[in-house]
Chains A and B, each alone.
Chain A
Amino acid sequence: QQPVQSPQAVILREGEDAVINCSSSKALYSVHWYRQKHGEAPVFLMILLKGGEQKGHDKISASFNEKKQQSSLYLTASQLSYSGTYFCGTILYSGGGADGLTFGKGTHLIIQP
């Protein structure tokens, strides 16, 4: 079951904030956030495990709402380097060894000076 990301695209001015959401119709074990710039490899940002924790580093943070099966990525005071496509990847179950991610369609973020 592919997670649903919203919005599909965001255009911001440098210094503005953004929120990207990732929703699942099934119970999640974990949510992984990656950023991909054009022609480059996806780069890991952070992982959220069920339990409703919130994580962050620098000005990027994320939360996981277990009741809603939704994760949100928060970008504060956005910088030009934040531009790219953000993907959430989900895992439904732990254990069993199979832990490949099911990715959403991505959110395109453009930061303008």
Chain B
Amino acid sequence: EAGVAQSPRYKIIEKRQSVAFWCNPISGHATLYWYQQILGQGPKLLIQFQNNGVVDDSQLPKDRFSAERLKGVDSTLKIQPAKLEDSAVYLCASKGQGRYAFFGQGTRLTVV
């Protein structure tokens, strides 16, 4: 079974630039999550999708972050404009009928 795929693996941008991350969940998984993991911390939930609808985006900084999952499969997370404090690993996870989520390897973002 293929896992959660994310790209790119690494991204370096200057502050105030924009960036987008892509996630392809495990086939058939209706639930998709984006987490932000700052160095030395646990992952922090940004947004949860159920199919193509948003279930929880209470911790998403909506002034600069946006996410979509148009066809209920792939998802993109965008930051515009980026700040230095956005440097982190962005993890995508998906969940099917089971009770736990599978994580991708993440995209490491460095904002300089």
Contacts and interface: CB of A to CB of B under 8 A. Distances in A.
Contact of A41 (B33, B40, B91): B91
Dominant secondary structure of chain A at its interface with chain B: loop
Interface in B1-28: 3-4
Interface residues of A, number: 23
A44 B50 CA distance: 20
Contact of B43 (A39, A43, A44, A103): A103
B48 A106 contact: no
B103 A42 contact: yes
Contact of B48 (A41, A44, A100): A100
Nearest to A101: B45
Contacts, number: 54
Contacts of A98: 48, 55-56
Contacts of A47: 99-100
A17 interface: no
Given A41-B106, A47-B99, A87-B42, A99 B91 contact: no
A97 interface: yes
Contact of B56 (A34, A41, A43, A100): A100
Contacts of A89: 42-43
Interface in A18-38: 30, 32, 34
A28 to B, nearest CB: 14
A106 B99 CA distance: 21
B42 A104 contact: yes
B74 to A, nearest CB: 18
B69 to A, nearest CB: 14
B42 A103 contact: yes
Interface of A: 2, 30, 32, 34, 39-44, 47, 87, 89, 97-106
Given A32-B100, A44-B101, A101-B45, 9 more contacts: A41-B3, A41-B4, A41-B103, A43-B103, A47-B100, A89-B43, A97-B50, A99-B48, A101-B43
8 contacts: A30-B99, A39-B105, A41-B105, A42-B103, A97-B56, A103-B42, A103-B43, A106-B40
